[in-house]
Amino acid sequence: MTNPTIYVGTVGATISILSYADLVTGVASVVITVRKPDGTTATWTPDSVTEAGVITYTLSAGDVDIAGTYGIQPVATMDDGDVWPLGAAEWTVYARFEVV
């Protein structure tokens, strides 16, 4: 995943996740599952997914509303209905005005 430093309340920043898998051929859908620092979960729908395995998503209001470590994991649903969680990663979102 490549992004600039992200702070609570950031809107409009684009994150990119490299999955190292063909996410087009035989794939019905891809979502990004997110575990926030407080344990709640969310599902983000990517802006784009490429055959080269690059998933992009633009942050919306409420996506990063808590400072701390977020767990993110793309999940691919195949044309035959199989569900494949892909590699998970951790990502830090900083409190506003926190110096990094």
Q: Domain residue spans in the chain?
A: 6-94
pTM above 0.85, yes or no: yes
Query: Between 15 and 97, where is the model more confident?
Result: 15
Give 72's strand partners: 34, 89
Query: Between 3 and 25, where is the model more confident?
Result: 25
Q: Strand pairing of 89-94 and 6-7?
A: parallel
Residue 7, pLDDT > 70, answer yes
Alpha-helical (H) ranges within the chain are: none
Neighbours of 56 (CB within 10 A): 14
Residue 49, pLDDT > 90, answer yes
Band of pLDDT at residue 83, cut at 50, 70 and 90: very high
pLDDT tens per residue across span 15-32: 999 988 888 889 999 999
Question: Which two tokens mark 85?
Answer: 């969680």
Mean pLDDT of 77-93: 93
CATH says 6-94 is which class?
A: mainly beta
Residue 45, pLDDT > 90, answer yes
Amino acid at the residue 21: A
Cα Rg for the chain, rounded, in angstroms?
A: 14
What is the pLDDT at residue 22?
85
Distance CA 13, CA 45 (A): 15
